Structure 1
Amino acid sequence: MSTTNSTSRAAPNGKGALRPRARLLRTLGNDLISSDKVALIELVKNSYDADATTVLIRFHGPLDEGAGRIEVWDDGHGMDVETLQRSWLDIATDTKRRKPKSSGGRRVLGEKGIGRLAAARLGSELLLITRREGSSEVSLLMDWTQFDREDAYLDEIEVAWEVNAADVFSDGGRSVRAFSGAGIDAWKSGHGTLLQIEKLTHTWTQQDFIELRTALTRLIRPRPIEQDSQGLSNAPESAPADFQIILELEEVQEDLQTFAGPIDPSAELRVPHYQLRGSVDSNGSAKLHFRQQDPSIDEDLGIKTLWNNNKRGPQAGPFQFEINVWDRDNDAIQRTLASRSAESTPSTSKELKGFREALDDLAGVSIYRDGFRVLPFGEKGDDWLGLDLRRVQSPTLRLSNNQIVGHVFIEADTNQGLKDQSNREGFLAGTAYADLQTLVRAALAELETRRYKARRPEKSPTEQKGGLFERFNLGEIREALSTQYPRDSRILDLIDVKNRDIQEGVAEVQQVLSRYSRLATLGSLIDRVLHDGRTVVTRLKNIARFGERDLKKPALSTDEKIAASQKAMEQTAEQAEMLSSLFNQIEPFGGRKRGRPKQLHTQDLIEKAVSIMQVEADDRGVQLITGDTDISTHLDEAEALLVLVNLINNAIYWTATQPQDVERKVMVDARSNSDSSLTFIVSDSGPGVPDDLRNRIFDPYFSSKPDGVGLGLTIVGNMVEDVYAGELALVQEGQLGGATFEATFRRRV
């Protein structure tokens, strides 16, 4: 049996090139352009990049799959043969990337070079007719079905064009008639582009036109932000104030004719219930202006710091924004509808429903880059800011996505970290995108705080007194009945029995609340403990690995190996002590049943609370200081730490909002009072609490933090008031010039 060297049968070395199949073009169009609506928007963007002032979109029926026609006309620069070859036929060309400004000075939108695939998405055939001023007219016919052939490669599909004298884009050509028919009589352009798309790929329904018109309505920025006395920036010069879109429908069913006409900002929702607008600089500072409909407020809020990260600055910004908000309850909508009409008759349920439906169609926060909308931000169902989840966590304060029509205006040159995804829908996830979300939510929190004040009247001092369970007492009823029916012992005995049952139930609920409050605080600490714990575990692994390596070294003597082992054990003991310290921090907040109170010292409690929050304080550049007072007490350790940790955490957050050149300090101390009660004091050098919020900060779910849930002070207040018959108070003046909270314990001290 003979053998042959296997290498002699191997194919010779060589090189070749990738040859994509023709169907790749159609695949790319379907994958990169998600819908026919998006495809039309891409074609409008191309017209905008060509410095067009008008785009006319004409639908010719029947608009059924395999039939019908869509025409997209514009009066842009048009193309000559060289431009057609160099740009339009060059898929994924970087022409616009290399030249980011159009001839007219607009910031171009089609940097990916894939917009022409939109035409393939819309229909099976394309006739492109274009003319540059002073040049001949160029016509190109594309049959996209050729690209569906299984046996064809992309370089085998030939594309031909014709060059002729001006016809369509001549003084008396079809372009003049088309635009005149759309109501633009003065249009006499001798240049532009027509995309005539035949044999539609899907049937257009009424819902499709609703979505298309809504999308086109929101495509261009709704109106410029005007310069005013508050110093708010004007709209960018590149904003397309001279750009309009017109929709025409011919030979279609009557119910679709209502969608024809110029695309203008919606006439609905002219006056929001609340509005916040402003400009944010590259450092995260914002100039803000607030307006409110009822009661009428028009207020300059000055400069607010929206960025609260001491380690770095934001990678998003500068940008401008406008946030318009409506309340969706019947009374608020009734007032809005009544303000539009001289009649004072109540609105019908149909009118209320129509208002909400109009708000549903337009609701969301859109992003406009260089004056043009970026999809899918603000689309129906797109909650890119996570507002609905945020509202679930704090329903009385936060806004949901369907209450807001917002606009964020950015410029590509100053926000280069915001990169498009390949499908031209949305930005790539990254630091810049996350920072933009943070800044917009922080601005929204300013509006939410003011809306909360308008919707929830301030409580009187009498209403504010008493804890969460103060109302669960029948004492007042018993006193009234004993006066009215002094001889009816059965009623009084029944009330006494029921009152005892209620008080026993309250005591049980207080125990449950205490336990859940511990777990809530424990949850907020888990991430920090996990982070530090993983660091310790990594160090322990390294000690073990390096120790094992040293013991295996043959060159080391026995004494040297013993010394290395002792060093490794010492390092292990140090890391174990760090782990023990981490566990000690969270151990008091576990769900164990409380035993007999033991004697504690306030100094130890304060130092433990400070150690728990030290990493957070260091991360935010805040110095924690403890007082010298040391008082013996029998407080429950977990409950006392819960109060201190929540107050310190709150103080750290607000102190960190101060400029870096301002002293950032939080001081924690204790005080023994003449009535044998005990008070913990937490002072900070932060901005303090505005006078108009001093009586609201203890409300459940109220928080002026951008992502705050609004339960920290509520939990602390209820714990102190209901369990310890004490009080949580914001005192007028503190040691450090910011806010000072005092938690006083009177029972079980």
Structure 2
Amino acid sequence: MTDEIVTRQHDPATPTGLGALRPRARLLRTLGNDLISSDKVALIELVKNCYDADATTVIIRFRGPLEEGSGRIEVWDDGHGMDVPTLQRSWLDIATDTKRRKPKSDSGRRVLGEKGIGRLAAARLGSELMLVTRMADVSEVKLLIDWSQFDRDDAYLDEIEVAWELGDPEIFSESGSASEVFSDSVSETWQRGHGTLLQIDKLTHGWTKEDFVELRTALTRLIRPRPVAKTTAEVLTAKGPETAAPDFQILIELLAVPEELQGFAGPVDTSADLQTPHYRLTGSVDKNGSAALHYVQQDPPIDEDLGTKLLWNNDKRAPNAGPFDFEINVWDRDKDAIQRTLEAASPGGPTPTPKDLKGFRETLDVVAGVSIYRDGFRVLPFGESGDDWLGLDLRRVQSPTRRLSNNQIIGHIFIGADTNEGLKDQSNREGFLAGPAYSDLQALVRAALNELEIRRYTARHPEKPLAEKKGGLFERFDLGEIRGALAASYPGDTRLIGLIDEKNRDIQDGVTEVQHVLSRYSRLATLGSLVDRVLHDGRTVVTRLKNIARFGKRDLDKPTLPLAEKVVIAQGSMEQTGVQAQVLSSLFNQIEPFGGRKRGRPKETRTHDVIKNAIAIMQVEADDQGVELLAGDDDFTTRLDEAEVLTVLVNLIQNAIYWTATQSKDAERKVLIGVRSNDDSSLTFAVSDSGPGVPDDLRPHIFDPYFSSKPEGVGLGLSIVGNLVEDIYGGELTLVNEGPLSGATFEATFRRRV
């Protein structure tokens, strides 16, 4: 078929012709509207071009009336400007690769507009454009474009001509209007004699108060933020992100606009109220996922280096993202915390009112999010209102006590294009293309955030004295103390005491039902791990049985094979089949304790068999993580419910595997599961690992519901297991100080129903 096509293409008798794609003129405006999502983004693209031109200052001047079809936007910069060859090669060449071929500006900045479509932003903002530009010591260039010409249905793109003219400097001269514009605002940094002006007339859309709120918010976070105010000590040190003041500033000027808009004029900078976060974590992440971290907290005051933490827990490959720096600022949104913040921002001032508190929350809502800055400039839409690219809000739903929501955080991620080549822009300039680099960046940032969340949790939940701790999760659902107090105060009121007793019975019945529900859900969670094991090993067995049958049939069908040899082959096949059947039987035995049929009295079993079953369930995961599972030597007879014991052991082994796998490949990676019989006839199962252990400051909280030190942990595993052991078996789940292995050792003691 391919040969036929080639022959026809070269057949002289076949009519041929050559042509070219010829775009209509309106394609330019269509591209501008499709690739530039809003007027706000259009202005940001123009500001990026100023940055690439080595400008130190950009002035965005609005001149009213700011209504559709009228008004003006001027974008002034003091960059290096353009001559005619540069104008032709760079500005008029749509999708030029000039910046791709030269990724650094003359001053060494990493350029931002590699795709060459930023100038389409001017077409989106208004119908007419006057571009005035000048390089130092050359003539001034003026370019006029009427974008409405590109809307004609009968015009092709190559039929629309644009004209420019050269002349003596007028705008960018010693006494030109640029001198006046810049000198009024930034006299100290104004570089005379060069720069660019984009004057956009007949606006495509009107500008409202809400538009200016969005614009200033976007511009506030556009460039790399200035160092924030310190809390307890110097926060941003050499251990964290660079602290030099940025060499690029943006100002907004408003002329002939309503009074309600005047407040949006002025330099673009961060709100003073948002410079004293309650918690801050800064750090530098290397290409292997290790981070040098520094943590600061307001109340109680903490300022400490956390040393180097490994944020990447996959030892099979290095992350595709990094190196990068980050700064994560977090606020608590409750009344007391916000009031402390406002009082710190205005010491000696009046007490903040409810309106002040509401205003602070609203401001935080607008600017909250985690932004990404590449080579000092912000990448949209990361950190925009509603852009939860890290999935923080969903993460908080799963663990509301410990996790942070997107509207509590102002974060900054600082990457370099040359050192993070895998993070590629989407064609619409809105975010990065999905891929391993982007996924790994998300995982590393969430792991860093987890370090802050752990410390915030311990600050907000200080350790209680041991006497205040309750035995089981449901012990608090008992009205015994209330009954005793009422009986003492109202000894003759039998009706009241009767009502309390009746309600207490109802509560205890409900507690019992909830305990059974939790037990069933715990079984289901364990069963999920078991199903993975059965599918993995079961498929292997089925494949082996198929091969035994296929090869046995092939050999038995050989006509020249003697009968005696066929008998030997048949016997061998049956023996192999029996071995594989035994493997399947073992898998079914693992599932049996979790069967859905009604369970009677637990049957007598050996603890060693239960431990081996738990190890079998978790063996695949342990092998994947390079962790060795070991069973202790002790063995006892028990009548415990095997499924409930497996639920406890599987959860503890799963935790142990996770933390042991965080150790280096060269370190010991073992988990030991053992059992002992106690003098009071209770039975204690122990799971010990060679992982990093539990830090002292986290030990009081590891059994709290929704507390987890895993980056993606929900924090219910230990809580539910502890409830099963304590409330159903009258025992306890404890973290012991010393165990047989060097890491953490958990002991689950069963007292009732043993």
By the TM > 0.5 criterion, same fold?
A: yes
Paired residue secondary structure (2:328)? strand
Map 1:70-89 → 2, pairs under 5 A = 70-89=73-92
Give the counterpart of 2:242 among 235, 240, 256.
Answer: 235
Partner of 1:47: 50
1:204 aligns with 2:207: yes
Counterpart contact for 1:52–1:76, Cα < 8 Å: yes
- Secondary structure of the 1:40 match is helix
- Contact preservation (8 Å) 1:363, 1:404: yes
Matched, 1:300 2:305: yes
Q: In 1, distance between residues paired with 2:266 and 2:705?
A: 49
Alignment pair present for 1:279 and 2:294 = no
Q: Deviations over 1:235-285 (max 9, x none)?
A: 29xx87211111111111111111111112222212111111111111111
Matching residue within 642, 649, 652 for 2:654: 649
Q: Which runs of 5+ in 2 are unaligned?
A: 1-7
Distance 1:698 1:106 in 2: 50
Partner of 1:386: 391
The residue aligned with 1:3 is none
Q: Distance in 1 between matches of 2:591 and 2:70?
A: 69
1:626 matched to 2:631: yes
Counterpart selection for 1:91 from 87, 94, 115: 94
Could you tell me whether the CA contact under 8 Å between 2:676 and 2:685 is conserved in 1? yes
Asked if structure 1 preserves the Cα contact closer than 8 Å seen for 2:241 and 2:325, the reply is no
Q: 1:541 to 1:668 in 2, by over 3 A?
A: closer
1:145 to 1:658, Cα distance in 2 relative to 1, 3 A: same
CA contact (8 A) 2:227 2:236 kept: no
Q: For each residue in 1:61-98, what CA deviation from the matched residue of structure 2 results, as whole angstroms up to 9, or x when unmatched?
A: 11111111111111111111111111111111111111
Give the match's secondary structure for 1:276: strand
Describe the shift of the 1:142–1:598 C-alpha distance in structure 2 as closer, same or farther (beyond 3 A): same
Q: Who is 1:509 aligned against? A: 514
1:348-497 alignment to 2 at 5 Å? 348-477=353-482
SS in structure 2 of the partner of residue 436 of structure 1: helix
Output the CA distance in 2 between the equivalents of 1:263 and 1:636.
66
1:34 partner amino acid: S
387-396 or 131-140: which moved more? Answer: 131-140
Equivalence for 2:135: 132
Q: Contact 1:128–1:193 (CA<8 Å) still a contact in 2?
A: yes
Separation in 2 of the partners of 1:208 and 1:435?
35
Q: What one-letter code is carried by the residue in structure 1 that aligns with 2:89?
A: R
Summarize the Cα distance change of 1:577–1:312 in structure 2 as closer, same or farther, 3 Å threshold: farther
Residue deviations 1:366-408, cap 9 Å, x none?
Answer: 1111111111111011111100000000111011000011111
Matched, 1:184 2:204: no
**What TM-score do the two structures reach when normalised by structure 2?**
0.90
The amino acid across from 2:62 in the alignment is F
Q: Secondary structure at the match of 1:101?
A: coil
Give the alignment partner of residue 722 of structure 2, picking from 709, 717, 730: 717
User: Which residue of structure 1 lines up, in the alignment, with residue 705 of structure 2?
Assistant: 700
CA distance in 2, matches of 1:204, 1:532: 65
Deviations 1:578-631 (A, max 9, x none): 777666555544554433211122111111111221222222221111111221
Contact 2:241-2:282 within 8 A present in 1 as well: no
Query: Match for residue 527 of structure 2?
Result: 522
Aligned partner letter, 1:57:
I
Partner of 2:687 in structure 1? 682
Q: Which amino acid aligns with 1:54?
A: T
Of residues 288, 291, 297, the one that matches 2:293 is 288
1:174 maps to what in 2? 177
Q: Paired residue for 2:145?
A: 142
Report the TM-score when normalising by structure 1: 0.91
Aligned position for 1:14: 17
Cα separation, 2, equivalents of 1:216 and 1:557: 85
Whole-angstrom CA distance in 1 between matches of 2:33 and 2:505: 71
List aligned pairs for 1:208-223, cutoff 5 A. Answer: 208-223=211-226
Aligned to 2:5: none
Match of 2:330 among 325, 330, 334: 325
Question: Which residue type is aligned with residue 173 of structure 1?
Answer: G
With over 3 angstroms needed to count, the CA separation of the structure-2 counterparts of 1:507 and 1:205, relative to structure 1, is same
SS in 2 for 1:182: helix
What is the Cα deviation at residue 365 of structure 1?
A: 0.6
Q: Once the two structures are superposed, what CA deviation does each residue of 1:348-378 show, in whole Å capped at 9, x if it has no partner?
A: 1111111101111110011111111111111
Change (3 A) 1:478 1:199: closer
TM-superposed CA distance for 1:727, in Å, is: 0.3
Amino acid at match of 1:232: K
In 2: Cα distance, 1:35 partner to 1:735 partner:
63
Partner of 1:665: 670
The answer to whether the 8 Å contact 1:138/1:161 transfers is yes
Structure 1 position 144, deviation (Å): 1.7
Cα displacement string for residues 296-320 of structure 1 (whole angstroms, at most 9, x for unaligned residues): 1112111111111121111111111
Q: Deviations over 1:188-240 (max 9, x none)?
A: 5211111111111111111111100111111111125999897515529xx87
Give the secondary structure class of the aligned counterpart of 1:408: strand
Separation in 2 of the partners of 1:336 and 1:141? 51
Kept after mapping to 1: 8 A contact 2:272/2:345 = no
State whether residues 362 and 405 of structure 1, in contact with CA within 8 Å, keep that contact through their aligned partners in structure 2.
yes
By how many angstroms is 1:21 displaced? 2.2
Shift of 1:657: 1.6
Counterpart CA distance in 2 for 1:655 and 1:704 is 14
**Could you say if the C-alpha distance between residues 434 and 585 of structure 1 is closer, same or farther in structure 2, counting changes exceeding 3 Å?**
farther
**Is the 2:273–2:345 contact (alpha carbons within 8 Å) kept by the matching residues of 1?**
no
The alignment partner of 2:272 has SS state of coil
| Matches of 2:174 and 2:677, distance apart in 1 | 93
- Alpha-carbon RMSD: 3.3
SS of the residue aligned with 1:412? coil
- Stretches of structure 1 lacking an aligned partner (at least 5 in a row): 1-5
User: Who is 2:732 aligned against?
Assistant: 727
Contact 1:518–1:591 (Cα < 8 Å) also in 2? no
Q: 1:152: how far off?
A: 2.4
Pair 536,65 (structure 1): closer, same or farther in 2 beyond 3 Å: farther
Same amino acid, percent of matched pairs: 72
2:597, 2:22 → 1: CA distance? 68
Structure 1 contact 543–568 (Cα < 8 Å) conserved:
no
Determine if contact 2:533/2:618 at 8 Å carries over to the other structure: no
The one-letter code of the counterpart of 2:256 is E
For 1:634, give the aligned amino acid. R
Aligned partner letter, 1:727? E
Q: 2: CA distance between counterparts of 1:569 and 1:209?
A: 81
